[in-house]
Structure formats: C-alpha cells, structure tokens
Amino acid sequence: MEDKITTLHCQCGNVCLGVERRPIISAECLCKDCQTAGALLQSLPDAPKMLDQNSATRFVLYRKDRVRCIKGQESLREYRLNPESKTRRVIATCCNTPVFLDFTNGHWLSMYGGLWPQKNLPPLEIRTMTRDCPKGVVLSDDVPNPKTHTGMFYFKLLSSWAAMGFKSPKVNYVNGSIQIP
C-alpha cells in the first residue's frame, strides 16, 4: 500500500477519489459533533449508515496533497453543522454518500471509512474523543480509547504536516453546500 493509489467510490460510483500511499492514521471518532453530523447525514434519502453500534464515525486520515478527485466533483457538496464552523463534511449528492471531513485550516482530510470495501479498510488504530461516548456504551479494548486525542495522534498529524513543508493545501473540488433540515 506504500506507493499505491487506492480508488474510493460513492455508493453509485459517480464520484471517485484516489488516495495515495499510507494514511496518517485510521481512527474512530466519538465526539458530539461527529455523532450529530453522522445521525443527520445517514438520515438523508438512500444514505449509507455512518454511525456504528457505539455511535462512532470511522475515518482514515490522509494528507490533503495525497487525495485527488478523479471524477464526479460536480456532485460534491459541503455541509457544516453551523455556518461559522471551520469543519465541513463533504457529501456526494448523487447518492448522499459522505466522502470526507475537511478541517479547512488543516493539512489532512478525514476520509469516511464507508468508502472502503470492509476487507480493504485500513485497520483501526485508535478511538478518539471517548469522553463523549453515549451512556451505557462499553468500548472494546482492542485499540486505545483515550478521552481526547493522544500525544501520538498529534505527533502523527504534525509529522505528516512537516513532511508537507508545513503547507495546508485547499480542497478546491467541492461545489457548493447542502442544507439538512
């Protein structure tokens, strides 16, 4: 997987992205914003399930300079939980498939795990923001389950940013926004 390009598709195949090389990290997020956004996005007509049984959202983080839109950019729209948010969730509106989360000031994209066939999804390395875990949920101890983000998580992000020369490319292949009632 080191130098290979992996192609990822929305449910209907209209949108295709390519990710290069290895991801920064493969994680599940349990923050309140991801739980709220996940519930909203999976409620769209024909949208895939986003939240797992623990209300976690699966992500595979890649450097922005290693993600390309191969086809279907005309179907990509952003959704923000609030208009001032620096975080946008990008959806393929052709079939309501969530594609990635973009912290617009950051250097990485959090690609939604549902884009991978289950057998090809990079192995889970960490669950983050478990302090927001719903009451009654008991998380498996198969990977670390820190309350927030760990030093190692930040180290991986910082190392990837340094490898990019501390640049934060803009993602310019998203065309407008959607509103979710």
Mean of all residue pLDDT scores within the chain = 95
- Domains in the chain (CATH in brackets) are 5-163 (3.90.1590.10)
pLDDT tier at 1 (50, 70, 90 boundaries)? very low
Asked if residue 2 has pLDDT above 80, the reply is no
Sort strands 126-128 and 25-29 into parallel, antiparallel or unpaired. Answer: parallel
76 near 99, Cβ under 8 Å? yes
How much is the pLDDT for 39? 96
b/e string for 135-154 if b means 16 or more Cβ within 10 A? eeeeeeeeeebeeeeeeebe
The arithmetic mean of pLDDT across residues 62-69, rounded, is 97
> Does residue 69 contact residue 173 with C-beta atoms inside 8 Å?
yes
> pTM (2 decimals)?
0.94
CA dist 128 and 145 (Å) reads 6
CA distance 122 to 113: 9
Task: Tell whether the model's pLDDT for residue 36 goes beyond 90.
Answer: yes
**Predicted confidence band of residue 3 (pLDDT cuts 50, 70, 90):** low
Contact 108, 157 (CB under 8 A): yes
pLDDT tens track for 154-170: 999 999 999 999 999 99
Per-residue pLDDT for 54 more than 50? yes
pLDDT digits (tens, 9 = 90+) for 74-97: 999 999 999 999 999 999 999 999
What's 177's DSSP letter?
A: B
> How many angstroms separate the CA atoms of 97 and 64, rounded?
20
Mean pLDDT of the 8-30 span: 96
Pairing, β 16-20 against β 67-71: antiparallel
